[in-house]
């Protein structure tokens, strides 16, 4: 019997004294997340909260983030797919960071029949493009393949959490 595919969600965890960057995108920040915006020149930003610069730093828009050169090298070395970066300049630091965009896709999440809280996300697996990082249609969720989960769990994670999508509590408005 073939093993069922497992998928995971990447959560961005805020740590004490963690740096947060100013989100000053001229475009809608959801468009930045979902690769509808391409940056030719570096996005200029600065730290507006905290000071500790981890391997992942959030923008203050709640959606977008940057990754360190170390994080970038891990993703590249392991040939993970479904993502791309854009140039970023962070004021008052020489450390190299990249804006992170998820370009992998799947179809929409399956709607729950009942309104309320539910455990687990579901989507039609045949709609998934096979990438390691992907976002279901019409969401800003960060889903991972099992390969991406294994790679990220092997490295020193600083401020990310990975959870199986079958175990995540979520709210549904029910089918209309």
Taking only the tens place, the pLDDT of each residue in 109-161 is 988 777 778 888 999 999 999 999 999 998 889 999 999 999 998 766 677 88
Q: How many C-alpha atoms does 91 have within 13 Å on its Cβ side?
A: 9
Q: How many CB atoms lie within 10 A of CB 116?
A: 9
φ, ψ at 32 (rounded to 5°):
-65, -45
φ, ψ at 117 (rounded to 5°):
-85, 140
Residues above pLDDT 70, as percent of the chain: 93
Give the pLDDT of residue 2. Answer: 57
- CA distance from start to end of the chain: 37
Sign of the alpha-carbon torsion through 154, 155, 161, 162: negative
State the pTM of this model. 0.87
Instruction: Report which of 57, 65, 64 is spatially closest to residue 29, judged by C-alpha positions.
Output: 64
Taking only the tens place, the pLDDT of each residue in 67-123 is 999 999 999 999 999 999 999 999 999 999 999 999 999 999 988 777 778 888 999
């Amino acid at each position: 019997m073939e093993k069922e595919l497992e998928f995971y969600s990447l959560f961005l965890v805020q740590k004490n004294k963690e740096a947060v960057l100013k989100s000053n995108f001229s475009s809608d920040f959801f468009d930045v997340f979902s690769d509808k915006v391409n940056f030719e020149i570096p996005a200029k930003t600065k730290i507006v909260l905290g000071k500790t610069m981890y391997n992942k730093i959030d923008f203050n828009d709640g959606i977008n983030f940057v990754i360190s050169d170390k994080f970038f090298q891990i993703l590249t070395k392991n040939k993970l797919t479904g993502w791309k970066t854009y140039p970023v300049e962070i004021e008052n630091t020489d450390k190299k960071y990249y804006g992170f965009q998820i370009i992998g896709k799947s179809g929409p999440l399956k709607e729950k029949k009942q309104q309320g809280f539910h455990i687990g996300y579901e989507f039609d697996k045949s709609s998934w493009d096979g990438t390691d990082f992907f976002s279901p249609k019409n969401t800003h969720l960060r889903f991972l393949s099992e390969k991406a989960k294994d790679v990220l769990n092997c490295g020193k994670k600083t401020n990310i959490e990975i959870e199986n999508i079958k175990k995540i509590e979520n709210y549904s408005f029910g089918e209309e």
